[in-house]
Amino acid sequence: MRRTPSVPATASARRLWPPRQIFITLASLATAILLVRAGLLESIVGSIVDQAVRNIISLILAFAGLMSLLVWFLRESGHAPAVKKSVGWGLLGAVALGCAALRIERVSGDLVPEFAWRWAPSRDRLLPQAAAGSRGAGEPQGEPAAAAWQPTTAGDFPRFLGPAGNAGVDAFAIPVTGDEFTEVWRRPIGAGWGGFAVCDGHAVTLEQRGDEEVVACYALGTGEPEWSIAVPARHETVLGGVGPRSTPAIRDGMVYTTGATGWLHAIDGPTGKVRWRKNVVDDIGLDPAAHALAVAWGRACSPLVTESLVIVPAGGPQEQGGGAVSLVAYDRATGDRVWTGGDEQISYTTPILVTHAGREVVLVVNEASVAAHDPADGRRLWSFPWPGHSNSDASCSQAHVLDDGRVFISKGYGIGAAVFEPEPGVEPLRFRQVWAQPGMLKTKFTNVAIHDGHAYGLSDGILECVRLADGKRMWKGGRYGQGQVLRVRGVLVVQAESGEVVFVDCSPEKHLVRGRLAALDGQTWNNPCVTPGRLLVRNAEEAVCYRFTAEAAR
């Protein structure tokens, strides 16, 4: 009888385990992932790579490694066909079940997803469709207030980034340790990434509640709703989240707000009555679908309110084949359009009124430039390139005019920070670059605070101090995620993406944490608000107000 040659046990075992080539491949991929996570990729590719890109590359490499192992197992290994089939169909079923049962609820600033059950409604849909007491879109809640709001004072926080719109507060001081703050109230709130504006004891913000975009006013002392205005609108993307993302502006007792889909409101503060409203997208004649693709994460600009105008970025493209419009100004009293200016696509920044070269200008960061406009008629006075696209590497950070007429600007996505100055003797003004640091102040979703010749900001989630004279990094420390920064005199109030508030010395000497406050729980991209004796913070799910005493402030 013919005998079948036997196979050595060692050879059989080798068929059951990956060959040396697979181990080398997996080891190489693991090494590549470690290089990416350690931040050494920059030395290989020769450019700055932010944390979100590192996460994506790590995911791709990990997926490639797992697929290599799976393909070997199914095609080349010595396991029984039944085992291969069971593993293959099991993995396919697990993936299908996961896709059917889970959805991405939100994504962090570093593109780390948070999952939720598909059948579970988002939290904003569990709230009332409008704040308590609202009588519907455009109608005031309750009886008119007994007295008009007092004029804005130096202690109020009447607009985006504070009294001067520059992420700085100098009218009072704030404590630096968490135990000096006492919680006054905490309440659920609709989704959105905007902050609070406060005047005369009233706090106003924008929220998403189901299919309604809501402007809501709360009593600062108690957190109780005072009035709300709702319009049928909802902005939602996987990467950008749900809801409006701007901060109201308050002036002379009037509240002005811009929504994520284009609604611009002028509301009487004491009564909550709508004086006028415009849908900017419709008013400018933009193509809604094309505009939504071009400005992919919703209109995030807050309104600029002057003596007579409300100025907001416009957008594009226009329905009749026109391009983009950079800015549009409306009459504060009537809502009539006064002028339009510029022909560049908008970004996610807020226009600001500043003095440059001896005259007032409206300074705005567009999709791919920084520009100054005449506030009287919208005429563009000067501009210089600043790279970006509002559906990818978008600009979210404000430009700052420095004391010597230079302009500071920063952003994420590997661009970093730069300072530009006017060329002497050239009319109209033309700018040249003084310095640029692609690895510093990569302010992806946030802004810098400027103090005593230094800029402080979250550079890809790490707090950093840079000298404005020459772009030298003074220090870098502390991981706070894609949060926000507000300077209150000599203290940096850092709103971490995790919800924690951290107090850091505003000093170029070193990164010194003075105290922490466990304020919120969960993803927080919203800017904090500070008034004398009050710290007000929020995220997409809740708002909380803290009290601190005048004696504690230094």
Residue 281 zone, left/alpha/beta (φ > 0; ψ -120 to 50; rest): alpha
User: Cα(458)–Cα(449) distance, rounded to whole angstroms?
Assistant: 10
Identify which has the larger pLDDT, 528 or 424.
Answer: 528
Quote the pLDDT of residue 353.
98
Q: What are phi and psi of 436, to 5 degrees?
A: -145, 135
Residue 312, burial from CB neighbour count under 10 angstroms (0-12, 13-18, 19+): buried
Q: Considering only CA atoms, which of 30, 67, 37 is closest in space to residue 53? A: 37
Residue 249 lies in a domain: yes
Residue 143 lies in a domain: no
User: Cα(407)–Cα(397) distance, rounded to whole angstroms?
Assistant: 13
Residue 482 lies in a domain: yes
Quote the pLDDT of residue 132.
40
Q: 34 pLDDT band (50/70/90 cuts)? A: low
Q: Which residues pair with 385 in a beta bridge?
A: 369
Q: Which residues pair with 274 in a beta bridge?
A: 267
Extract the tokens encoding 407: 């302009």
**Mean pLDDT, residues 298-317 taken together:** 97
Residues 264, 323, single domain; the answer is yes
Q: Which residues pair with 168 in a beta bridge?
A: 487
pLDDT at residue 451 greater than cutoff 70: yes
Extract the tokens encoding 255: 């509240």
DSSP assignment, residue 368?
S
Which is it for strands 501-505 and 513-517: parallel, antiparallel or unpaired? antiparallel
Task: Give the domain-ending residue among 89, 110, 131.
Answer: 110
Instruction: Fill in the amino acid letter for 496.
Output: A
Residues 103, 177, single domain; the answer is no
Q: 316 pLDDT band (50/70/90 cuts)? A: very high
Residues 88, 214, single domain; the answer is no
Looking at every residue in the chain, the average pLDDT score rounds to: 89
pLDDT at residue 105 greater than cutoff 90: no
- Convert the pLDDT of each residue in 380-422 to its tens digit: 999 999 999 999 999 999 999 999 999 999 999 989 999 999 9
**Mean pLDDT, residues 333-355 taken together:** 98
User: Is 454:466 a contact under the CB 8 Å cutoff?
Assistant: yes
Number of folded domains that form the chain: 2
Please report the DSSP string for 483-506 in residue order. Answer: -EEEEETTEEEEE-TTS-EEEEE-
- Convert the pLDDT of each residue in 279-299 to its tens digit: 999 999 999 999 999 999 999
SS (H, E, C) 442-461: CCCCCCCEEECCEEEEEECC
Residue 355 lies in a domain: yes
Quote the pLDDT of residue 137.
43
- Convert the pLDDT of each residue in 157-204 to its tens digit: 999 999 999 999 999 999 999 899 999 999 999 999 999 999 999 999
Q: Which residues pair with 94 in a beta bridge?
A: none
pLDDT at residue 138 greater than cutoff 50: no
Q: 36 pLDDT band (50/70/90 cuts)? A: low
Residues 71, 185, single domain; the answer is no
Residue 58 lies in a domain: yes
User: Cα(67)–Cα(75) distance, rounded to whole angstroms?
Assistant: 12
3-state secondary structure of 485: strand
pLDDT at residue 270 greater than cutoff 80: yes
User: Cα(460)–Cα(22) distance, rounded to whole angstroms?
Assistant: 35
Most confident of 79-93, 120-134, 320-334: 320-334
Q: Which residues pair with 513 in a beta bridge?
A: 504
Calculate what percentage of the chain has a pLDDT beyond 70.
Answer: 88
Q: What are phi and psi of 26, to 5 degrees?
A: -65, -40
Quote the pLDDT of residue 75.
79
User: Cα(435)–Cα(417) distance, rounded to whole angstroms?
Assistant: 8
Residue 146 lies in a domain: no
Quote the pLDDT of residue 139.
45
Quote the pLDDT of residue 14.
47
Quote the pLDDT of residue 95.
86
Whose tokens are 């040396």? That residue is 20
Residues 303, 403, single domain; the answer is yes
pLDDT at residue 247 greater than cutoff 90: yes
pLDDT at residue 136 greater than cutoff 80: no
Q: What is the CATH number of the domain that holds 358?
A: 2.130.10.10
Quote the pLDDT of residue 44.
52
Residues 384, 265, single domain; the answer is yes
Residues 81, 215, single domain; the answer is no
Q: How many CB atoms within 10 Å of residue 377?
A: 11
Among 6-20, 60-74, 460-474, the range scoring the smallest mean pLDDT is 6-20
Identify which has the larger pLDDT, 72 or 431.
Answer: 431
pLDDT at residue 131 greater than cutoff 50: no
Extract the tokens encoding 409: 């600007």
- Convert the pLDDT of each residue in 37-53 to its tens digit: 566 555 555 456 677 77
Alpha helix positions (H), 386-479: none
Residues 245, 334, single domain; the answer is yes
Residues 282, 397, single domain; the answer is yes
Quote the pLDDT of residue 510.
97
Residues 200, 341, single domain; the answer is yes
Please report the DSSP string for 56-75 in residue order. Answer: HHHHHHHHHHHHHHHHHHHH
Task: Give the domain-ending residue among 88, 110, 132.
Answer: 110
Domain that holds residue 18: 9-110
The per-type count for the chain, helices as H runs and strands as E runs, is 7, 37
Residues 171, 36, single domain; the answer is no
Quote the pLDDT of residue 437.
96
Q: 515 pLDDT band (50/70/90 cuts)? A: very high
Q: How many CA atoms are closer than 13 Å to the CA of 369, on its beta-carbon side?
A: 16
Q: 440 pLDDT band (50/70/90 cuts)? A: very high
Task: Give the domain-ending residue among 71, 95, 110.
Answer: 110
Quote the pLDDT of residue 280.
98
pTM of the model: 0.89
Residue 303 lies in a domain: yes
Residue 153 lies in a domain: no
pLDDT at residue 142 greater than cutoff 50: no
Quote the pLDDT of residue 144.
47
pLDDT at residue 135 greater than cutoff 70: no
Calculate what percentage of the chain has a pLDDT beyond 90.
Answer: 69
Q: Which residues contact 256 (CB under 8 A, 6 or more apart)?
A: 248, 249, 250, 264, 265, 266, 267, 303, 305, 310
Residues 178, 95, single domain; the answer is no
